Structure 1
Amino acid sequence: MSEQTHTGRCLCGAVTFEVSGPAKWTGYCHCHSCRKHTGAPVSAFAGFERDQVRMTGQPLARFASSPGVQRGFCARCGSTISYEGERWPSEFHVHVGAFDRPEDFAPTGQGFPEERIAWLHLEMPAPP
């Protein structure tokens, strides 16, 4: 695993985190729940093994958005930070926009494309 460390935070800076090494995967999520959680027509995530992620600031507030799913956010400013689900029990998914350098996590796939908003058309970034 790479020794590179990526940092991130919420809008107010209360919730901060560090991630060691590369993401297992990156992708857009088109699901209804992600749209409601972020207020955006699509979300971008990077998936990591739990032991790669270290929370360094205030603890995440969590909301059980559906059975077996916890969505993490800042209790102070409301910024969306994470997704944790029983479907991927060893993983911690971070919203790409919460990273200090989101450009390091270009999406390479799409989740729930059948729920994509009809007017939204995305091009997948070219591989680095």
Structure 2
Amino acid sequence: MEGRCLCEHIHFSVSDDAVTVVNCHCNLCRKMNGSAFSTYVVVQEQLFELKSGEVKSVQVSENASKHYCQYCGTPVYNKNPKLPGLTIVYLGAIDSGVNLTPVMNIYCESQLNWVSEIASFTHYDQGVK
């Protein structure tokens, strides 16, 4: 699987052998990503290869560092010392991410109460005009 940031400064590859795909509902992920939850592809560290570009890093907590494109701000991956040997790749940065499906939700005690209703919301193929 290949991935890129929005401006294409960062280019990476990830082996198809993902450990798992998860939705994280923790307050930290919501705050650092400005979203209701974050979807990650968790892979063995050696299966992630940064092919071009350089990521900037910020230590957001004692257990999380976020790595992102310095030019467009696209988050690429996170690292967590409690998960040694794993790289936590943002699903949205993977070009073929639409083919991956989360298998679990974690930190559900922080989940926003409306998230479970998403499937029932009105759907548009494109933005509202």
- TM bin (shorter chain): 0.7 to 0.9
Superposition misfits of 4+ residues, deviation over 2 angstroms: none
DSSP-derived class of the 1:103 partner: helix
Larger radius of gyration: 2
Aligned twin of 1:84: 79
TM superposition score normalised by structure 2: 0.86
**Count of residues in Structure 1 that have an aligned counterpart in Structure 2:** 119
Aligned sequence identity (%): 25
Structure 1, residues 27-57: CA drift from partner, whole Å, max 9, x if none? 1000111112221111100100110010012
* Unpaired runs of at least 5, structure 2: 119-129
- Structure 1 gap ranges (5+): 1-5, 124-128
Structure with the larger helix share: 2
Relative distance call for 1:121 and 1:84 in structure 2 (3 A) is same
- Aligned pair 1:49/2:48, yes or no? no
Letter paired with 2:7: C
Which one-letter code corresponds to 2:33 in the other structure? Answer: T
Whole-angstrom CA distance in 2 between matches of 1:11 and 1:106? 21
Per the alignment, in what secondary structure is the counterpart of residue 121 of structure 1?
A: helix
* CA distance in structure 2 between the aligned counterparts of 1:121 and 1:55, rounded to whole angstroms: 35
**2:23, 2:77 → 1: CA distance?**
14
Paired position in structure 2 for 1:75: 70
CA RMSD of aligned residues (A): 1.6
1:99 aligns with 2:99: no
What is the CA-CA distance between 1:122 and the residue it aligns to?
A: 6.2
Amino acid at match of 1:47: V
TM-score by length of structure 1 reads 0.87
